[in-house]
Every structure is written in C-alpha cells, then in structure tokens.
Amino acid sequence: MAVNINGRLVAKDTCQALRPRIAALPRPPGIAVVRVGEDPASKVYVGRKTQRAERLGFHHKEIHLDVETSQVELEAVIDAVNADDLIDGILVQLPLPDHLDSTAILDRIAPEKDVDGFHPVNAGLLSQGRPRFVPCTPCGVMKLLERSGVSIEGKHAVVIGRSNIVGRPMAMLLEKANATVTLAHSRTRNLPDLLAQADIVVAAVGRPHFVKGEWVRKGSVVIDVGINRLDDGSLVGDVDTDAASKNAGWITPVPGGVGPMTIAMLMENTVRAAEFRTA
Ligand code: NAD
C-alpha cells in the first residue's frame, strides 16, 4: 500500500516556518484578493486564503465585485492595488465571469506583486530556469515531493495537463530539478504506456478518477492535483486513489493533499514579495 503524503501537515509546517520571516519585516505583508461574481467554489477558496493570511498576521484586503463588473472597472481595481504601498501580493481568483478578459487582467498585475506567478514576466523567468514567483500549486507539489524524501533527479516524471496554472509550470519545475519530463495532454496517445514508465506522475486534468489504478507503476509517486465535485457533493481527485494506492509507493489524498499546499505557497510568495519590496 502507498504511503499517504499529508499535505495538511506540510502546509502547516510551511506556514509556521514563515512566522520568523514575517516578524523580521518592518510591517506586515499585505495581500489583496480580488473576486468577481458569485462562483461558490471561488468564494470557498478566497475564504480559505484570507483566513490563512489573517492567522499569519497579514494586512489583507478582500475585494468582492459584482458579477456585472466591466473590464474597465476591474482594471481600475487592479491599478489601485498595484499602487497601494501596503499591498505586496495581488491575487485575482479564477475563473472570472465570461465577459471579462482574464489574460488582460492577469497581465495588468504588477509583476513584483504577482504572487500567483501567472504574469508573462514571471512565467518567462521560470521558463528560463530562473524562477521568481512560481504558480502556487506546482510550487506546493515540489515541496510535497521534497518533504516526502522522494528524489527527483534523473527520474521520469509524467505530468498530465498543460495549463498555465498547473501542468506547464509543473513540468518546468520538475525539469529544473533534473527529472526527465513528459508533458501529456488531451491529444496524447497511449497515456497508460507512458505511465508504465513513470517514476513520478502529476495529474492535473480536472476529470474525476481519470488515472486508473492499473496504469500506475509499482512504487511510483502519484500526485493528484485534481479537485472535482461529484453529484453527491463529495470531492474527488483525478486519480482513482483506492486502486492506485495498491501500486503507488506514495500518493496524495484529495482532499488534504495538494490543496492546502496551494494556500501555503501563496502565503510564502506573499512573504517573499514583502521581503523584496521592503528591503
Ligand atoms: P485545465 O482545464 O486548464 O487543464 C486541464 C488539462 O488537462 C489540459 O491541459 C488538457 O490538455 C488536459 N487533458 C484534458 N483531457 C485529457 C486527456 N484525456 N488526457 C490527457 N490530458 C487531458 O485545468 P487546470 O486549471 O490545470 O486544473 C486541473 C485540475 O486541477 C482541476 O481539477 C482543478 O480544479 C485542479 N486544481 C487544483 C488546485 C489545487 O490547489 N489542488 C489548483 C488548481 C487546479
């Protein structure tokens, strides 16, 4: 049976380790979290992020805008938080309502306050192997691998999903840690054959139980990024965890695996932004 990788514990330790760094700052780190509309999942995620920021003693602003907010209005909000000296990190909760151009909004965030790591300047730095702000979810996965004592160098990692938020930066981080990386996506053929050669699998697809237990190689590390809500209200990942646990050496649960790490890394990125900005 696979060893369970406890994301809640690693996230808690990661946040605890930030406390002396926060205490050493001339003022509390500041974060602004922007949410537009009434997407229920976004409301839950933003609530968790601001709660964690509050517990760590951050200065925090939760900006909740009406679903009808226009592009120009949202851009003005971003400009205002860009100009606010007490704000070090800005997060725009995705997805935005369809009438808004998310890319233009994310591009408008000042790169030095882009604690989500989605701005093209930060994505470009990562792609050149000199990361500054790295998207929180893949950054959290790296920390989970590190804490589990799993070595990455020379291993074959298969990342399933190529979004700018998870899959693509994940592949870059694993490559930077000297893994040999295969980035699989919706047009990939013979995924089970690829997984049969994988030492590390990261699933970020957004389809419940997409990765079957029998695809998982004996002893491999399986990181499940997916968060999918089933009709009965329960949350499941992209991996058929029960079946995969029989083959995997290590596995992350959903919930309680990658999710808490995303929030912890957002806090860490904000502390780093505050360190840069107050130095
Ligand atoms: P996305 O929809 O942007 O990307 C999904 C990717 O899956 C695409 O690149 C697509 O090519 C790939 N894909 C789709 N069908 C496939 C197939 N049959 N075979 C191989 N690849 C296929 O999603 P995302 O934003 O990257 O999120 C992925 C999942 O991770 C979602 O469930 C999301 O909720 C979850 N997520 C979790 C966290 C967290 O904190 N744990 C953070 C972000 C996203």
Taking only the tens place, the pLDDT of each residue in 132-162 is 999 999 999 999 999 989 999 999 999 999 9
pLDDT of residue 215: 98
- 186 token code pair: 């919706």
User: What's the sign of the alpha-carbon dihedral 29, 174, 251, 161?
Assistant: positive
Strands of the sheet with 59-65, listed across from one edge = 59-65, 30-36, 89-92
Strand pairing category for 221-224 and 200-203: parallel
Instruction: Quote the CA–CA distance of 107 and 114 in Å, as a whole number.
Output: 9
Tell me which residues have their CB closer than 6 angstroms to ligand 1.
137, 160-163, 165-167, 184-186, 188, 191, 204-206, 225-228, 258-259, 262
pLDDT of residue 39: 95
pLDDT of residue 202: 98
Contact 162, 115 (CB under 8 A): no
**Which of 227, 241, 254, 262 to probe ligand 1 with, by most ligand atoms within 8 A of CB?**
227
Helix, strand, or coil here: 35?
Answer: strand
pLDDT of residue 193: 98
pLDDT of residue 102: 98
- pLDDT tens by residue, 179-198: 999 999 999 999 999 999 99
- Mean pLDDT on 255-265: 98
Residue of the CA atom closest to atom 6 of ligand 1: 161
pLDDT of residue 109: 98
Contact residues for 197 (Cβ-Cβ < 8 A; gap 6+): 156, 158, 217
Q: Which helix (H) or strand (E) holds 197?
A: none
- Distance from the CA of 256 to the center of ligand 1, in angstroms? 18
pTM of the prediction? 0.97
Contact residues for 60 (Cβ-Cβ < 8 A; gap 6+): 30, 31, 32, 33, 50, 53, 54
Contact residues for 180 (Cβ-Cβ < 8 A; gap 6+): 154, 155, 156, 157
